[in-house]
Amino acid sequence: MKAGIYFTGSGPIVILTTYDSLTNPYLINRLHSKGIKKFIAFEIPEYLAKQKYGHHYDAVMEDVKQEDYLRVIDFDGHHILAKFSFKELGEPVYYE
């Protein structure tokens, strides 16, 4: 799994995906279908997402309503920015 924080027009989201990159064309299509057409993404280690979200991470992984190609862990911008330091983020990936 890849984990990433996507800064979008409506605020940041944290996602998990089985795709090989945060800009995989199939993932981009999934994001487009949700109205996300432009973003800055930062990869984060999956273990860090699991550590920071704990039981919520496990609940998201067990949620049968979400697909492995796009599992949303968090969409509350204040919550996300409180959980992660900018030092923990990888290099930015720009997409438009």
6-32 pLDDT tens trace: 999 999 999 999 999 999 999 999 999
Tell me how far apart the alpha carbons of residues 25 and 31 are, in angstroms, rounded to a whole number: 10
Q: Which residues, other chains included, contact 60 with Cβ-Cβ below 8 Å and sequence gap of 6+?
A: 16, 53, 66, 71, 72, 73
The predicted-structure confidence for 40-64, as pLDDT tens digits, reads as follows 999 999 999 999 998 988 888 887 6
Helix (H) or strand (E) holding 13: strand 11-17
- What pTM value is reported for the model? 0.90
